[in-house]
Amino acid sequence: MREKFTKSPRIAVLTGAGISAESGISTFRDQDGLWEKHDIMDVATPEGWRRNPSLVLEFYNQRRKQLDEVLPNAAHFALAKLQKHFQVDIITQNVDDLHERAGTTNVMHLHGELRKVRSDKFPALVYTTKHWEVKLGDTCEKGHQLRPNIVWFGEDVPLIPLAAQLVENADIILVIGTSLNVYPAAGLLYHAQYNARKILIDPNEMQVENVFQLQHYKEKAGDAVPKVVAELIQEFLG
Ligand code: OAD
């Protein structure tokens, strides 16, 4: 059964690494994913940073460098199109900039952004990097080492309350390419209205399907997102 909308629906989109997979960026937990090749504790925690900042800088330098070699794919472009027709809030766990480069505005980056760095001592001092490489000795205006502006494991996710509000306000929620393994982002669906339409796009079986009553497109984002976007435009705008 499908709920009827009397007004244009408000749409929240939660994206994860899977939406960028077809652009050539590895996911984290799939076979051959980033966390098979790197130890989370070494490169994505404040403890790892304290232990070996060079290793951490190098890990994110390589990720940043890769951004110059990849392009948004059909899924990113389809979401930019969706945003032209509806009020769409994009909440991403991704630290790449492919949503923006596809033309999407107002992207909420829950886990930070690769293109940004911040002062190790004063978190409010955030800078956009012009170059992919950040080195030991690169400092903020107050002379403290710059670190990636990434939310590491064990750190607060400051945007979560705002993201929860967006999910709560949504009539339709699209969840695309995330294993929903990492909290608090994975808990955002608990904020959805009981009658919100929830659509999951992920080629793999997901345990959350039944819990949240998600309509599951078991396909790659590059195939399913343009299809779902076309269906929504057809349904509401004819
Ligand atoms: P994961 O690597 O945990 O999950 C990726 C999801 O994408 C899986 O469910 C795959 O089945 C799916 N997937 C793979 N290829 C796809 C495709 N072509 N189209 C659609 N889906 C596809 O990545 P996330 O859930 O994003 O955080 O991981 C969440 C967080 O864990 C990341 O933001 C990162 C990581 O540790 C930090 O580093 C702080």
Average model confidence (pLDDT) across the chain = 94
Alpha carbon of 178 to ligand 1 centroid (Å): 4
* Distance between start and end Cα atoms, the chain: 20
Would you state the pLDDT for residue 3?
58
pTM metric for this prediction = 0.95
Which amino acid belongs to residue 188? L
- Give 3-state DSSP helix, strand, coil % of the chain, rounded to 5: 35, 20, 45
Question: Which residues does a 6 A CB cutoff place in the pocket of ligand 1?
Answer: 16-18, 21-22, 27-30, 33, 44, 93, 111, 151, 177-179, 181-182, 201-204, 220-221
**What tokens does 61 get?**
């330098």
For 64-105, the pLDDT digits (tens) are 999 999 999 999 999 999 999 999 999 999 999 999 999 999
C-alpha to C-alpha distance for 224 and 230, rounded to whole angstroms: 10
- Enumerate the domain spans of the chain: 1-25+71-111+156-238, 29-69+115-150
Helices (H), 11-159: 18-21, 34-37, 40-43, 46-51, 53-67, 74-85, 98-101
Fold of 1-25+71-111+156-238: Rossmann fold (3.40.50)
What residues contact residue 190 under an 8 Å CB cut-off, 6+ apart?
Answer: none
Counting atoms of ligand 1 from 1, which one is nearest the CA of 221? 19
Alpha carbon of 6 to ligand 1 centroid (Å): 34
For 138-175, the pLDDT digits (tens) are 999 999 999 999 999 999 999 999 999 999 999 999 99
* 227 neighbors 238 (Cβ within 8 angstroms): no
Q: Which CATH number does 29-69+115-150 carry?
A: 3.30.1600.10
